[in-house]
């Protein structure tokens, strides 16, 4: 799945280079977090300019991780609304409330446990996005903030005691965001 997401991002970036250079105003960005691939997270964000100082972003992610006989993998959605305080939408300092939803499949072969986990996160972040290069087509996005997390575990096989959920993040935690991409 990592290769598919990476290939999609590379094709999208290089495929969009044929966009006319005469169109100076950028209205869209397509971004990915290359650091996430280190931990098994593939994430693509699409951002659309809505007005002079606002945009909406939708992120789609895939995560796969194993530790101590327990594995989980699944998909996530991240809708976000951005208020650009300086410059204009897509370029400058922004504030953004967001929501994250993840649906994971859980397995522990040692304990014969199978289940699903729905994770919900709500938060806000402050960040800065740069449109760089001669045509302002390269995007770098960096942000930090906080979020509240909760989850709902549904057991399909075994019992809830078979799954060590003490390592799951519940409550408040920091939020960090880094992405690079292409503006068009």
Grouping H, G, I as helix, E, B as strand and the rest as coil, residue 107 is: strand
User: Which residues, 6 or more positions from 104, have their beta carbon under 8 angstroms from its beta carbon?
Assistant: 63, 72, 73, 74, 116, 117, 118, 119
Range of the domain at 91: 2-181
Structure confidence by residue, pLDDT tens digits, 56-109: 999 999 999 888 778 889 999 999 999 999 878 999 999 999 999 999 998 887
Judge whether residue 18 has pLDDT over 50.
no
**pTM metric for this prediction:** 0.80
Q: What is the CATH number of the domain that holds 60?
A: 2.40.160
d(CA 54, CA 49): 6
Structure confidence by residue, pLDDT tens digits, 95-153: 999 999 999 998 887 777 888 989 999 999 999 999 999 999 999 999 999 999 998 88
The structural domain count of the chain equals 1
DSSP 74-89: EEEEEEEEEEE-SSBT
CB 25 within 8 Å of CB 131: no
d(CA 53, CA 49): 8
């Amino acid at each position: 799945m990592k290769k598919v997401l990476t290939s999609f991002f590379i094709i999208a970036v290089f495929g969009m280079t044929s966009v006319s250079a005469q169109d100076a105003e950028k209205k869209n960005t397509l971004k990915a977090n290359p650091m996430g691939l280190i931990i098994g997270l593939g994430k693509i964000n699409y951002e659309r300019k809505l007005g002079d100082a606002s945009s909406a972003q939708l992120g789609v992610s895939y995560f796969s991780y194993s530790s101590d006989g327990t594995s989980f993998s699944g998909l996530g959605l991240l809708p976000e609304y951005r208020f650009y305080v300086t410059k204009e939408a897509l370029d400058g300092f922004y504030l953004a409330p967001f929501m994250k939803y993840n649906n994971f499949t859980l397995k522990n072969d040692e304990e014969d446990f199978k289940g699903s986990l729905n994770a919900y996160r709500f938060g806000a972040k402050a960040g800065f996005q740069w449109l760089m290069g001669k045509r302002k087509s390269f995007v770098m996005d960096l942000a930090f903030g906080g979020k509240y997390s909760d989850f709902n575990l549904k057991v399909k096989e075994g019992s809830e005691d078979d799954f060590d959920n003490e390592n799951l993040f519940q409550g408040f935690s920091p939020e960090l965001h880094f992405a690079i991409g292409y503006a068009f």
